[in-house]
A = this chain, B = another copy of it.
Amino acid sequence: MADHSSRLLPELPPLAVSLGDPAGIGPEVIAKAWAAREAHRLHPFFAIGDRRSIEAVWDGPVIAISHPAEASGIFDTALPLLQVDDPGDIVAGKPNLAGARCALDAVELAVGLARSGAASGLVTGPVAKAQLYAIGFTHPGQTEFVAERCGVAPENVAMMLVGPDLRTVPITIHCPLAEVATQLTIDLIVSRVRACARGLVRDFGIAVPRMAVAGLNPHAGEGGTLGREEIDIIAPAIAELRAEGLQVTGPLAADTMFHAAARAQYDAAICMYHDQALIPLKTLHFDVGVNVTLGLPLLRTSPDHGTAFGIAGQGIATPRAMIAAIALAGQCAATRATI
């Protein structure tokens, strides 16, 4: 896949990185990512959140900023930080409602800065959904929250999982397996694949993206004997997308789509459900997977892991996925700026 790091434009604004839940591993992995900025040639970024949540788990330099424009000048010598309202006492590994409010404030501020152009894009640290729900958050996750703040309907957004050798897009995401078939519609597939195609052009610089669509059932339904969704839903969606001029193939048997020779045939695999997309990605690329939200006016990535409260505050969290998320955001921002 293309490496755009050599095209990073110095005049691009910095990236906004929300710390996520202050009691999770977000602050730690973001600080560690800053420490690894030179080795990974990371585009300048600033953190948004509570300063103490970083200082509690990291003894490197942090400098408070009051505007994103200050970040790039500081980035070489310290982690620039935009403070949100003081969340009160934070204990790593012990989430509370004040921390959830802090996390939500951070992502909301980050969205605003990315929308205004003050930030080139947005990288979100992990949040705890249970805590967010308790403070009145009504979205399934940060992705839908960001989409709403951008005025984009959730079905017009696509979540793409990106690893070094594979990109996958689940059509249905966080729903029980038994409900996948009932949630699948022609319109939903068409909307998400369109968002995927736009994102591959705009953020990944692929002029004519090739998308391979998985079937839902074993052997892609084997001509209807193992399920009819391929015939009734997936094939018609593919036909509609092809009629629009998109390069879409399928429905393909999901089990033979992800070996190396098969992956060479497409730029993104469109999957019908969460594990169909996540199993191959994490089998191949455990702990470097990046979640990219496509279909938004702004650029947004996040590491493909959670708050990991169980290991927060111990200094043992790996920053690999966060580094990958920040690196990819920088590459995509550069691509956007040059297309």
Contact = CB atoms under 8 A, between A and B. Distances in A.
A283 interface: yes
A18 to B, nearest CB: 22
Interface in A270-303: 272-276, 278-284, 286-287
A311 interface: no
A208 interface: no
A18 B188 CA distance: 46
A53 B275 CA distance: 41
This chain's copy number in the assembly = 2
A297 to B, nearest CB: 28
A175 B217 CA distance: 8
A40 interface: no
Contacts of A256: 282, 286
A261 interface: yes
A274 B175 contact: no
With a 10 A CB-CB cut-off, give which of A221, A254, A287 has the most chain B CB atoms.
A254
A176 B279 CA distance: 19
Contact of A286 (B216, B229, B261, B278): B261
Nearest to A275: B254
A256 B181 CA distance: 23
Interface residues of A, number: 40
Contact of A258 (B217, B276, B282): B282
B176 A178 contact: no
A139 B72 CA distance: 67
Interface in A234-291: 254-256, 258-262, 272-276, 278-284, 286-287
A279 B282 contact: no
B274 A218 contact: yes
Contact of A217 (B176, B181, B229, B255): B176
A29 to B, nearest CB: 17
Contacts of A221: 176
A177 B183 CA distance: 13
A177 B180 contact: yes
Interface of A: 173-178, 180-182, 216-219, 221, 226-229, 254-256, 258-262, 272-276, 278-284, 286-287
